[in-house]
Amino acid sequence: MTTSQATGLSLPSTWRPLRLETLVLIRWLAVAGQAIGVLFVAFGLGFPLPLVECYVLIGASAAFNLWLVWRYGAAHRPSSAFAASQVTFDLIQLAGLLALTGGLQNPFAILLLAPVSVSASTLPQRSAFLIAFLAAVLASALAVWHLPLPWLPGEVLVFNRIYVIGIWVSIICGVVFIAAYTSRVAHDARQIADALAATELALSRKEQLSALDGLAAAAAHELGTPLSTIALAAKEMRADAPAGSDLADDVELIIAQAARCRAILSKLRNLGSDGSDPFAEVPLTDLLAEVARPHESRGKAILFYNEQATGAAPVFHRSVGLLYGLGNLIENATDFARETVQIEASWDRERISVAITDDGPGFAPELMARLGEPYLTSRPRDAQGSDAHNSGGLGLGIFIAKTLLERTGARLSFQNIDAAGHAQVQIVWPRVAIEMT
């Protein structure tokens, strides 16, 4: 099952737009910190520095903030390019301040990493890496071109060249590490968040479908009384209507349509009598047969085994998540099977196990350790080749099935049972987890 088949959702985007208010707030914090820092150096420590030029740069940042709020409003969600341009502005403005106050010799040169961190955690990877590259270029320029570090009047503070090179190397390493590590972690977090949202959506849709039976029965119950009243009144009218008149024909039509409505309502009342109630209890063997039934017409033989079972079949609550998870795994097995899918159930006093095995080419070896992750991607594969179990069939759908089954207390494992492939999904519940539900 592909991602779109499982949920109707597309793959996650690498960019989730922030509100402009967030970017503006971060910039106001930077403006406040820069202004206080410059004032402290100039008047608190008494070090000479180009105060006017510094406050021109700080004022430019404040003016940019005011213009953004006036032009777009705080609730605006900028595009990725617009957000990247704002972070770029912040980086260049900070580099300008550092150039006026000692370059990389300034202890606050470490703040060059802040825009890189913001971009890596919030922007698409391409924009984040471009900003990281810009930060590295600016750090290199600041190592060479800058005004002297503000210091006591009449004293010249000279740093060893090796020390300055060490600062430059540390900043470059920080830029590379933050750009790569933070971007990757943020990307994975976005994938998990999107996948969990898709899981909730899929479960919600199933719950809505399951709730239709109860809704139909309730509607049938509520409509039954007024319909009976209409039928009774029509029969009384028939007794008073002249035979063969238009009124008599209309009354007969009303009675016939009322009878038809009663038949329809009777069907609606019986919708839940077929055992599809999601809160009903069902033996495991019947549950597996139920979720496999829709896939028996796909040209693959589905075989059931329970020879290793001890005692009566365990009873499960027919929950939506359980039905969806098992059905999804069986559907994937039939997709990749050549001829046969085997579903083997076993149970004893300690645990309950279900193994779903197909006679297909098996799981791709390089993906084995990552099965169950959302949006699992890799190079395209031959659907009939040895790596047919690829990301197209084992992406979000498998993640959703695994998540839903784990909510019932199960643990899943994936393996190929022989050299020819034959993929197997093993689902194991502790017996106590089922008996407590």
DSSP track, 356-389: EEESSS-B-GGGGGGTT-TT---S---TTSTT-B
Tell me the mean pLDDT in the region 170-198: 78
- Note the pLDDT tens digit of each residue in 251-275: 888 888 888 787 776 666 555 444 4
- What's the token pair of residue 286? 């019947």
Percent of the chain topping pLDDT 70: 78
pLDDT band at 1 (very low <50, low <70, confident <90, very high): very low
- Note the pLDDT tens digit of each residue in 341-355: 999 999 988 899 999
- Map 311-363 to HEC letters: CCCCEEECCHHHHHHHHHHHHHHHHHCCCEEEEEEEECCCEEEEEEEECCCCE
Lowest pLDDT segment from 31-35, 289-293, 385-389:
385-389
Look at residue 30 in the predicted model and tell me its pLDDT: 92
Look at residue 384 in the predicted model and tell me its pLDDT: 40
Please, which residues bridge with residue 347 across strands? 352
Look at residue 405 in the predicted model and tell me its pLDDT: 86
Contact 294, 333 (CB under 8 A): no
More confident call, 198 vs 381:
198
Number of Cβ atoms within 10 Å of the Cβ of 52: 7
Query: Over 90: is that where the pLDDT of 218 sits?
Result: no
Q: Using DSSP bridges, classify how beta strands 351-358 and 315-317 pair: parallel, antiparallel or unpaired.
A: unpaired
Please, which residues bridge with residue 230 across strands? none
Tell me the mean pLDDT in the region 201-230: 64
Contacts of 88 (CB under 8 A, 6+ apart): 115, 131, 134
Crossing angle for the helix pair 80-100 and 20-39, to the nearest 10 degrees: 0
Tell me the mean pLDDT in the region 100-107: 90
Distances in Å between the alpha carbon of 90 and those of 118, 215, 275, 401, 433?
Answer: 11, 56, 63, 44, 54
Longest dimension (CA), the chain: 124
Contacts of 362 (CB under 8 A, 6+ apart): 386, 389, 416, 420, 421, 422, 423
- What's the token pair of residue 61? 């940042």
Distances in Å between the alpha carbon of 287 and those of 30, 133, 406, 410?
Answer: 60, 57, 17, 15
Query: Over 90: is that where the pLDDT of 169 sits?
Result: yes
- Cα 96 from Cα 424, distance rounded (Å): 60
Look at residue 382 in the predicted model and tell me its pLDDT: 42
The reported pTM is: 0.52
Lowest pLDDT segment from 167-171, 194-198, 365-369:
194-198
Query: Among 295, 393, 302, which Cα is nearest to 344's?
Result: 302
Look at residue 11 in the predicted model and tell me its pLDDT: 41
Look at residue 241 in the predicted model and tell me its pLDDT: 77
Please, which residues bridge with residue 342 across strands? 303, 357
- What's the token pair of residue 98? 């550092």
Tell me the mean pLDDT in the region 24-53: 91
Q: Which of 18-32, 217-231, 381-395 has the highest mean pLDDT?
A: 18-32
CA dihedral for 81, 85, 91, 95, sign (positive or negative): positive
- Note the pLDDT tens digit of each residue in 391-401: 344 466 777 78
Amino acid at 42: A
- Note the pLDDT tens digit of each residue in 301-333: 999 988 877 788 888 887 777 888 898 899 889
- Cα 337 from Cα 329, distance rounded (Å): 12
Tell me the mean pLDDT in the region 146-173: 86
- Cα 183 from Cα 118, distance rounded (Å): 10
- Note the pLDDT tens digit of each residue in 116-153: 988 888 888 888 899 999 999 999 999 989 898 888 88
Lowest pLDDT segment from 133-137, 235-239, 411-415:
235-239
Mapping DSSP to helix (H, G, I), strand (E, B) and coil, where does residue 296 land?
Answer: coil
Look at residue 428 in the predicted model and tell me its pLDDT: 93
Q: Using DSSP bridges, classify how beta strands 421-430 and 301-305 pair: parallel, antiparallel or unpaired.
A: unpaired
- Mean pLDDT over the full length of the chain: 79
Amino acid at 129: F
